[in-house]
A and B are shown apart, each in its own frame.
Chain A
Amino acid sequence: MSTTLSTEYDPVLIAILQRQLDHISLQMGMIMIRTARSPIFSQSHDFSCFLSNARGETVAQADGLPIHSGSGGFAVRAVLRDFADRIEPEDVFILSDPYAAGGNHLPDWTLIRPVFVDGELMGFCSNRAHQSDIGGGAAGTYNAKATEIFHEGIRLPVLKLIEKGQLRDDLWRMLLLNSRCPDLLEGDLGAMIGSTRIGAERLADIIAQHGVKKGNAYLEAVLDYGERRMRQAILELPNGTWEASDISDTDCFELVDIETRVKLIVDEDMITFDFTGTSPQIKGFKNSGIANTHSAVYCALSAFLDPAIPHNEGAYRCVKIIAPEGTVVNALPPAPMTMNTVYPAIDIMNACWGALAQADPDRACAGWGKSVFGISSGKKASGGVFVLYHWHGSSGGGAVKGRDGFPTSSHQMTLGGMFIPNVETYEQSYPIRVHRYEMRCDTGGAGQYRGGTGVDYVVDVLVGGEHLLRGEGARKQTGAGVNGGQWGAKGSIKAFDLATGEELACPPYGVEEVEPFHLVIEASAGGGWGHPHERDSEAVLRDVRDGVVSRHAALQTYGVEVSEDGKSVRSTEARRQASGIQPYVH
């Protein structure tokens, strides 16, 4: 690798092009947010926009969920594989299948629009977005009872949705027919089409300014730049081999340990993540496919090293991933896998972060609590079907050096990137009544930097329907502490019939038919960073005043004695000099 740019390129132009590509991706995202109809897009930003070169390699993805990093390439390359020389200007492709079409999971539909300049294919402009409903065994795309991908909704191979500018209305009708929320689907697909059109026009303009040949060369240069950045960052890690794993305790049907195991090998500017030894694929829908596994590894690595390194596939050229077939990180058909962008992705990230933390403890990232909340669906009084994600039950984030964990944040694999709605908006939009939404006490993993607390979330769902359970963080602690920091507290979930007060069964996973019910969630908490005795005593005092750490725990866990009125620190030294710490004592 040379460390300076090749002289045949104008380095200023490369800098400008890098910014232009990012700008296009962000503009596409802005269009998606503002035009989409379903809250999953407009509110939660569950989508990403990316540009690729003619070989299908992602060259820019400035807008997007971290867990979509790099996986779009698999989809674009599936288009190239299946349509080869039948890709025409004004075509738009659609796909979703993780086995047949480079998708990550079925609910994420990817729209791919080729970009032509002077009749030559220069690249693609795409977005990938989570649809509100795609049929299958449960409303809202997550069928916890699925044992085959066929139970999870419609499977889309690579299809031409728009052919030379002409929407295929037969196909369009088929897509809408397969959704419980065709109105949302229609609006959202419209937003996706519009966003790729504008992105493609802008990309074509920019390439046209330089001409086809030079334009291509500059797209290459952008990938090469990403590669150099990543190689330099990896060079800063020591050479060596480290192992780590994360364990989930259920296959969605029974309590059984499922291990995601990784061996990290750093060799100068190359890095390898070898998942050999990972558990075989499972019956339930927590299997990952190859595209999603790549994304999860990329997400863990980029977040750990330096998120400013471009998230293009050039950057990931020096990353090798070994994912044995038939395991939970590379399942074979017909294993179900809709949940893969959530828990399996987090398991993969945790394993990777665990190994990276050993290589470079200073930058270690404590684990975020795994969520316990589910999804309710039913019919509104006005007649339409609603699908409600109980985002307010989100877990606490993990600490890193320099900051405590976020109190409650969307899942770790989004790095908190899906924002939590306002309670007021939710009560206006859905038949629910929220009773409580507040931070928990003595839950955030103790440490020099404390884990996020998670929340108490109490809500009535006022109409009957279905409730999907996915309580991964409810039975054991899931937010790992690092460097002497403690694990965050586990969460819990309880449900009661609203009319009778009778407690309802809450298995780890399942789809339950429910009457109106009362839901009580304790969200799990994030892990701490560093030994609690290292925490600034003023910060401990503030936590006690704020009611997120008790006086008792301040003394037992942090070694800080707080006065009875809770307003001052009485002493720290003696307790901290004594060896050892105790976990929170409840």
Chain B
Amino acid sequence: MLVAPYRVGVDIGGTFTDLVMVDARGAVRAFKAPSVPSDPTEGVLSAVRLAADSLGIDVQSFLSDTELFVHGSTIATNTLLEKKGAKVGLLVTEGFRDSLEIRRSIRENVWDHRRPFPEVLVPRYLRLPVTERIEHDGTVRIPFNPDSVAAAARVFAEEGVEAVAICLLHSYANPAHESAAKAELKRHLPDIWVTASSDIAPTIGEYERTSTTVANAYVSRRVVPYLERLAWRLATLGLPRKLLMIQSNGGAISIDEIGHAPASLVLSGPAAGVGSLKFFGQDTGSDHLISIEVGGTSCDVTLMQHGMVSMTDQIVVDGYHLNIPAVDIHTVGAGGGTIASVDRAGLLAAGPEGAGSTPGPACYGRGGERPTVTDAQLVLGRLKPGPYAGGVITLSLERAVEAIEAHVAKPLGLSVTDAAAGIIQLVEQNILHAVERASLEKGYNPRMFTLVAAGGAGPLHGPSTARLLGSASLYVPRLAGVFCAFGMCNSDLRHDYVRSWLKDLDNQADSRPDRLEGAFEEMQVEAIEVLAREGFTGSKALLKRAYDLRYFGQQWTVAVESSSTNPASIRAAFEQAYQRLFGYVQPSGAIEVVNLRLAAIGRLDALEVSKIPGDVREPVAQSRRPVWINKEVGFVDTPVYDGTVLTPRQQLIGPAIIEEATTTLVIGVRDKLTMTDAGNYHIDIAQGEAA
């Protein structure tokens, strides 16, 4: 029996819309409804109906009892990927029409010169000049000329432009001309959707700032109406509070505040994993976590240390650069559907190609001929043949063996088992490298972290990845398959502000403590207002200051959190972070303060780990089957447990297989599994000789 009020998290994926509901005492239920790409609102409402049904009440009563409704959606990302955005017009400083198309000539793989740039989101004939010029120090050299905007407005109207982005040179130092251009444009085109770079990404670098602003305008056409429609539907159905959206920074925000910055939703969804990590940290007793979320096509890696998730200030979506504060998620093409192949010169590869959901792995029998990671898991007995997901798919061992035999084993002269094991080993190597990028390359020792394996395929790779990393423990949430929707129920509100500073830290005139303080306080005025509007004041409203710093001449900044405005303590904090990242400091190096950042956080009550009654009896295996455990022991007759009947504090020693509704766990030799208070899996990884 669940108890109102409820928290609800809804995450829309490509195939399923996940809903997780948490009741007043912390009990959790999860639901999956089919997504409806043509109208995602429908998918959300079906999931809500499922939840209401499970409580035996109607949708209205359920929503009226919902105190928090948090939503994540890939709609912004998909708009970019599918090129279904608005027809955008761009206003730029006269003489600089082409930054967006030139892209600073950045290509991800330099050698791959035959691949064209991603399609430019605004064609040149809609990139129009504004007569004006601001210098790098913010002074005006050429005054703003409204006539140039009027001329552009005529073209935009004629061409049926739906949204306009404005990015003028050095607007991070002085936004006056952008504001003037925006007002002038609105005067001519009152109904058009307009976004200015100084509003959403006021940092130095015109290419990235333009790209961000254009992406913002581009996704607005689909995102803004969708959010409005969904909010309206939910409100009319009885939801008493405003719908909250998860942003790329992992925090929630009410849709009233997101309407002007829809691009900040590009990682909405995966970023919600932050809320899950906070909860898992409590449950597993460690605030140092690295999560691998492995799905059908990719693996997302996120790092949390001291309870804080690593952040970044730039993300790239399908080749488009966005300067948006975001959870630092490293993605690598390693999932269940990743295809294994042998090239003509005899080298085994796993990916980058994937089989997707159609045709899917060979063992699905839906026309996929090429072997995937899932096929290898089946051959190795980690997955069992037969129906899955309530009979939606049926795994055929025969097809898996055939595919691996033909495409990997034969060309390499290996047995099918060795070939399958090789595929797994290689894909785990790829996952390992992604984890190293998120940890070692940022100066964190992955051995000090608990690995969290989530996503449908994550728990299959968890123990061996933890072993490769040298991690002592692994944590697998029972709700591995609804990682993000669950996280939404445990998110704080968050709004990020940034101000360009570009001054010498040690220059008395430039970076005097009272000047820094003054600048932060200006930013705080708006932040406090926004939080108050959302109902967060006093101890529920938290402001966190940070600096983007670098040694003079460097291009890359290091973000340093500090409440101090004293240059000496800022330097000390910078040097500490720099030492961790790079292993040395320049003791007398001049430091440049590039940006001031402020995070305004509205604190929601965190979910408590509710202690489910435990049981210390030896768990009983439901069955046994031969499972390939590792190179040394090969196939072992392995006990198989039904995860749904395991209860807190029960323990077992590997090798073992645990089957859950949406995932399967492989426990290695001598690994020790303990069920946590919340009924999740904590595994102590056996180190030493290959286990």
Which residues of A are at the interface with B, using a C-beta cutoff of 8 A? 3-5, 7, 11-12, 14-16, 18-20, 23, 27, 30-31, 33-39, 42-43, 65-66, 184, 187, 190, 194, 198, 225, 228-229, 232, 302-303, 307-308, 311, 365, 394, 397, 400-404, 406-410, 414-417, 419-425, 427-429, 433-439, 455, 458, 542, 545-548
Contact = CB atoms under 8 A, between A and B. Distances in A.
Return the 8 tightest CB-CB contacts between A and B, nearest first.
A12-B422, A307-B111, A546-B124, A417-B110, A403-B116, A228-B345, A436-B95, A15-B348
A475 B580 CA distance: 52
A36 B95 contact: no
B584 A190 contact: yes
Contact of B111 (A404, A415, A433): A415
B346 A4 contact: yes
13 contacts: A30-B441, A36-B554, A228-B346, A307-B113, A394-B105, A404-B116, A407-B98, A415-B111, A419-B104, A419-B106, A424-B170, A438-B96, A458-B95
Contacts of A12: 348, 412, 414, 418, 421-422, 425-426
Contacts of B582: 31, 34-35, 194
B609 interface: no
B551 to A, nearest CB: 7
A539 to B, nearest CB: 12
Contacts of B135: 427, 433
Nearest to A197: B583
Contacts of B542: none
Interface stretch (B20-28, B204-212, B214-222, B532-540): B204-212
A14 B347 contact: yes
Contacts of A33: 555-556
B588 to A, nearest CB: 10
Contacts, number: 199
A225 B111 contact: no
A362 to B, nearest CB: 11
Interface in B84-102: 95-99, 101-102
Given A11-B414, A19-B430, A66-B111, A422 B205 contact: yes
A412 B347 CA distance: 31
Nearest to B349: A15
A15 B426 contact: yes
A187 B115 contact: no
A437 B96 contact: yes
Interface in B324-351: 343-349
Interface residues of B, number: 67
Contacts of B551: 37, 187
A400 B115 CA distance: 9
Nearest to B350: A15
Contacts of A455: 98, 102
Contact of B207 (A4, A406, A422, A439): A422
A16 B204 contact: no
B206 A422 contact: yes
A129 to B, nearest CB: 15
Interface string B566-591: 00000000000000011110100100
B123 interface: yes
Contacts of A429: 553
A20 B98 contact: no
Contacts of B635: none
B581 to A, nearest CB: 7
B429 interface: yes
Q: Which of B113, B584, B589 has the most CB of A within 10 A?
A: B113
A439 B98 contact: yes
Given A5-B346, A422-B205, A427-B170, A402 B114 contact: yes
B205 A424 contact: yes
Contact of B554 (A37, A401, A416): A37
Given A225-B345, A232-B344, A438-B97, A4 B411 contact: yes
A16 B441 contact: no
A414 B349 CA distance: 27
B204 A545 contact: no
A575 B110 CA distance: 39
A428 B502 contact: yes
A7 B413 contact: yes
B204 A424 contact: yes
Contact of A23 (B115, B422, B433): B433
Nearest to A194: B583
A202 to B, nearest CB: 9
Contact of A546 (B102, B123, B430, B502): B123
A7 B586 CA distance: 51
